[in-house]
Amino acid sequence: MKVRTIKLLKKILSSSYPISIKSLSEYFNVSTRTIQNLIGEANEYLETLNYGLIKNIRGKGVFIEVSLEEKNEIVKNIFLDGYFFLEKEERELDLLLSIAFSQEPIFLNKKEKEYLVSKSTMDDDMRKLRKKLSKYDIEIISNGKHGCIFEGSERSIRMMLFDFINKEIGTVELTRKTRAQLSINQQILTKYIDDEEFEMLLNILKEFFKNMDDEMYKKQILLFTLIWVYRLRKGNSVGSMSLEKMEESNQNNEIEEYILLVIESFELEVNQIESNYLKFIIMSLNTESLDNSINWVNTQIITIGLMKYVEEVTGIPFHKKEEKLYESLYNHVSSMISRVKSGVQVFNPILESIKNNYSEIYKAVEDFVPQIESLIEVEILESEVSFLAIHFSTVYMHLREESSLIFKSVVVCNHGIATSNLLAASLRKWFPEIDVVAVIGSQDLFLINKLDADLVFSTYPIEVRDKPLLVVDPVITEDNLVPIKEFLMDNNQFGRLKINNSDYTEMFNEIISVINRNNQTVNVADYNYLKELFRNNSLKINLEEIQPMLKDKLKDNNIIMNGVVNSWEDSITMVSQPLLEEEVIAPNYVDAMINSVKEHGPYIVIGKHLALAHARPEDGANSLGISVLKLANPIEFGNEEMDPVKLVFCLAATDSYSHLNIMKELVSLINDETRLEKLAATDSKEDFKNILFEENLNN
């Protein structure tokens, strides 16, 4: 067999599901015809073994339908026939893991014999591996009788191994597979990670993190703990770390007990620095362990901005699932910021799938990410971008399930314009979801890839790239509808959302606003009556979109004009008074706001001359409320870029969503310096309200 055929066979054998010809073509960077030829050659070899052949399963891809035992026998026979060897990338991985984890010295001349390669090939492998490690500031050097070793920061070495294993092998599984189920790279890892020790650590992790729902993070914790154990075994440890602050603010007995049991089970001698280091990494990976109070406002600003941007760019109505998207995205952004700033970025094993299948969403998120990077001053890698895109993609799929789809289509006909138009009209008649965007003849085929279309219907065979094609009869009758139905079902992923405009949420909100503007209060009974009235008249409203606006909550009594204070602490105390009097917050909420700034710095200064005082809901927020203080004399909070502060808002919220509209308006305000200057300049409460609520001034 050719080397490429062996690679193809190994790829198909290592997969537990069918792989499309197109995917294989892209993976090996060859034409689909070449892939089919390679499959033919592989099948000729498989026939000699009297096992199942590679078959093309319609609509799914190619697959070898054999049992695990038979697959194992095929792997064994390939090896016995001299075909099973490590390719360049696999040799690089084996070299890396052997240097990282092996208790024996690693000498390149011995590796040459093991790999059955020449010295020049080995030198070339090492050059390429060194180049890959250079971005981590890590070098491989030959250290005499100690063989090849890594030179660089041990923390960098561990993060490099974490990143490299995730990329080259994928996430470690929470169940041990048989050898026949493992890919070649996974089999390489098993050379250096003992099966029994893997099982032992797996059982410890399952016991201590049984209440953690996120399987991905469990896998990442498992992998990093393995790296930690095996690097310690080789005598490599991190230097001193400044983790005292983390230790004080993030006590987590569960993680500490997990680490102690790992140390005991693996019989390790570990100092306090190493224990703190592993706890720090696990807390960075474990979203449930994070204390994100300092990021509460900035994370919401990022989340709101990202949601708005992606919807504007893609045109997908994510606001219809705003609550679902906001809560999941907010939690992820919060944990991501904490991890990334700590130097931990998680690899996404389905990165390429997200980029290919949700390219429009991924690109929109990718374009927004520099705004996040500028705030946290850290580069965000592709995998982290794809995790953000997954939240949007998940909501997008829910929207697709609940909405009608349309298929923008091109009709190609070589029977004249009248027949072409008849075919287009027939497609629309029988299939209203088909939106014919163009009808072209044989001389205009070059236009197909330039048109914004998803599918192609043609009356004769043509060659089309990147768009599904169905050859149909010029005249469609009931007798030939089935192939078209199947074609649409098979290509459902190309359908676009048909936006349903019969959403009366905006009308509902406007009715509420009109009542409020006329100094009337909408009580719970009236509110529920309105909802029921809309429902009974088939006027659909999205309950997730109905939250109070800034003007609904910021009443005259909550606006303090020209307050005089001596310190930033006094400004927080003063702006809190209206909410204390209304029992929206408890006294301990004020203490929590002040103590948080003392501990973390002036992070509440979120815009030019504007501070947003807040604490966590559990610190004493009784209900949703907001107040504002316009200072007579600006006060310094310690933020060189945004000081002095002229406006101080105080926000109390009991959850992560009910205040979303208020946050949207505040985000808009901090991006509007002209409006901020007008607010700071006026002494009239009425004018202040008009400017804040963006109403026209009556000069």
124 assigned to some structural domain: yes
Same domain, 526 and 638: no
Contact 409, 453 (CB under 8 A): yes
Q: How many domains does the chain have?
A: 6
- Shared domain for 334 and 386, answered yes or no, is yes
User: 116: helix, coil or strand?
Assistant: coil
Q: Which of 392-396, 599-603, 643-647 has the highest mean pLDDT?
A: 643-647
Kindly give the pairing relationship between strand 455-458 and strand 469-471. parallel
Q: Read off the pLDDT band of 540 (50, 70, 90).
A: low
Chosen domain end from 18, 47, 81: 81
Strand 610-613 relative to strand 605-607: parallel, antiparallel, unpaired?
antiparallel
pLDDT of res. 60:
82
The least confident of 172-181, 213-222, 295-304, 591-600 is 172-181
Band of the pLDDT at 83, cuts 50, 70, 90?
Answer: low
Confidence (pLDDT) at 294: 46
**Residue 191 CB partners (closer than 8 Å, separation 6+):** 94, 97, 98
Q: Give the pLDDT mean for 422-429.
A: 84
How many whole angstroms separate alpha carbon 630 and alpha carbon 406?
Answer: 52
Q: What is the pLDDT of residue 565?
A: 94
543: in domain: no
Indicate whether 313 belongs to any domain: yes
- Quote the pLDDT of residue 153: 85
| Average pLDDT over the chain, rounded to an integer | 82
Could you tell me where the DSSP H helices lie in 17-87?
21-28, 32-49, 68-80
Greatest mean pLDDT among 166-170, 205-209, 321-325, 384-388: 384-388
Residue owning tokens 């014919």: 436
- Strand locations in 472-589, DSSP E? 496-498, 559-563
Query: Is the domain of 69 the same as that of 200?
Result: no
Higher pLDDT among residues 313 and 398, named by residue: 313
Contacts of 154 (CB under 8 A, 6+ apart): 231, 236, 237, 238, 239
* Same-domain check for residues 125 and 261: yes
Averaged pLDDT for residues 149-174: 82
Token code pair at residue 640? 């060189």
SS3 of 633-681: the string is: EEECCCCCCCCCEEEEEEEECCCCCCCHHHHHHHHHHHCCHHHHHHHHH
Residue 247 has pLDDT above 60, yes or no: no
Element (H, E) at 308: helix 296-314
Inform me whether the pLDDT recorded for 647 exceeds 80: yes
Which pLDDT belongs to residue 527? Answer: 65
pLDDT on residue 544 = 43
pLDDT at 79: 56
Q: Residue 409: CB partners within 8 Å, gap ≥ 6?
A: 427, 434, 435, 436, 437, 453, 454, 455, 456, 457
Catalytic site includes residue 391 = no
Answer with the one of 402, 421, 440 that is the final residue of a domain: 402
Same domain flag for 490 and 526: no
- What pLDDT does residue 298 have? 73
Buried-exposed string 211-236: b where 16+ CB fall within 10 A, e elsewhere: ebeeeebbbbbbbbbbbbbbbbeeee
243 confidence band (pLDDT: 50, 70, 90): very low
User: 589: which residues sit within 8 A by CB, 6+ positions away?
Assistant: 576, 615, 619, 620, 621, 652
- Is residue 542 included in any domain, yes or no? no
**What secondary structure does DSSP assign to 419-477, as a single string?**
HHHHHHHHHHHH-TTEEEEEEE-GGGGGGGGGSS-SEEEESS----SSS-EEE--SS--
Cβ pair 130, 99 in contact under 8 A = no
Q: 154-168 vs 215-233: helix axis angle to the nearest 10?
A: 130
Q: Is 104 a domain residue?
A: yes
Cα 94 to Cα 12, 90, 169, 187, 615, distances in angstroms: 21, 6, 11, 10, 50
Does 413 score more than 70 pLDDT? yes
**pLDDT tens digits, 427-449:** 888 898 898 988 888 888 888 88
From 332, 391, 609, 614, the catalytic residue: 614
Q: What is the pLDDT of residue 291?
A: 44
**Residue 229 in contact with residue 266, Cβ under 8 Å?**
yes
Confidence label for 322 from pLDDT (cuts 50, 70 and 90): confident
Domain at 454, CATH number:
3.40.50
242, pLDDT greater than 50: no
Query: Is 544 within the bounds of a domain?
Result: no
Which of residues 386, 402, 418 is at a domain's end?
402
Do 657 and 557 share a structural domain? Answer: yes
Cα separation, 20 vs 57, whole angstroms: 9
Q: Which two tokens stand for residue 449?
A: 């890839």
- pLDDT of 12 higher than 60: yes
Whole-number pLDDT of residue 244? 42
450-474: average pLDDT? 88
310 and 435 fall within a common domain:
no
Mode of pairing for the β-strands spanning 61-64 and 139-142:
unpaired
412 shares a domain with 371: no
CATH number of the domain bearing residue 642: 3.40.930.10
Taking residue 101's Cβ as centre, other Cβ atoms within 10 Å add up to 19
- Whether the predicted pLDDT of 340 surpasses 90: no
Give Cα separations from 53 to 7, 63, 70 (angstroms).
Answer: 16, 8, 12
| pLDDT number for residue 295 | 56
Residues of the chain above pLDDT 70, percent: 84
Kindly report the backbone phi and psi dihedral angles of residue 562, in degrees, each rounded to the nearest multiple of 5, phi listed first.
55, 45
Indicate whether 491 and 570 sit together in one domain. no
CA 172/CA 182 separation, integer angstroms: 11
576 and 457 inside one domain: no
Residues 382 and 522 in one domain: no
Q: Decide if pLDDT at 696 tops 50.
A: no
Give pLDDT, residue 249.
38
Q: Domain of 37: which CATH number?
A: 1.10.10.10
Q: What is the per-residue pLDDT across 22-47, written as a single tens digit (0 to 9) for each?
A: 889 988 889 999 999 999 999 998 88
Q: What is the pLDDT of residues 495-532, one digit of tens each?
A: 887 655 455 666 776 776 677 666 665 555 676 677 77
Q: Is residue 264 part of a domain?
A: yes
Domain extent for 481: 405-497
pLDDT attached to residue 266: 94
The model's pLDDT over 547-579, given as tens digits with 9 standing for 90+, comes to 677 888 898 999 999 999 999 999 999 999 999
Tell whether 675 is covered by a domain. yes
User: At residue 380, does pLDDT exceed 80?
Assistant: yes
Mark whether 397 and 411 lie in a shared domain. Answer: no
